[in-house]
Amino acid sequence: MILLVHGWGYDATIWDEMADRLAGLPVRRIDLGFFGQEQLVLPPEPCIGVGHSLGFLWLLRHALPVCKALVAVNAFPRFTETADFQPAVAPRLLTRMRQQFQRQPAAVLADFWQRCGAVGPARSAETSPLSAGLGWLQDWDGRDRLAGFNGPLTVIASRLDAIVSPAMTMQAFAGRDVHWHERAGHALPQQDPSWLATQLRPIWDSASHG
Tens of pLDDT, residue by residue over 113-151, are: 999 998 899 899 999 999 999 999 999 999 999 999 999
Q: Is the pLDDT of residue 170 over 70?
A: yes
State the CB neighbour count (10 A cutoff) for residue 57: 26
Helix or strand (DSSP H, E) at 93: helix 91-103
Q: Verify cis geometry, omega within 30 degrees of 0, for the bond prior to 152.
A: no
CB-neighbour burial class of residue 55 (10 A; exposed 0-12, middle 13-18, buried 19+): buried
Q: Where are the beta strands (DSSP E) in the chain?
A: 2-5, 27-30, 47-52, 67-73, 153-158, 178-181
State the CB neighbour count (10 A cutoff) for residue 77: 20
How far is it, in rounded angstroms, from Cα 79 to Cα 137? 6
Q: What is the span of the domain harbouring residue 92?
A: 2-209
**pTM for this structure?**
0.97
How far is it, in rounded angstroms, from Cα 75 to Cα 59? 11
Q: Count the domains in the chain.
A: 1
CATH number at residue 71: 3.40.50.1820
What confidence category does residue 111 fall into, taking pLDDT thresholds of 50, 70 and 90? very high
Question: How far is residue 62 CA from its own chain's centroid?
Answer: 14
36-89 confidence digits (pLDDT tens): 989 999 999 999 999 999 999 999 999 999 999 999 999 999 999 999 999 999
State the pLDDT at residue 210.
56
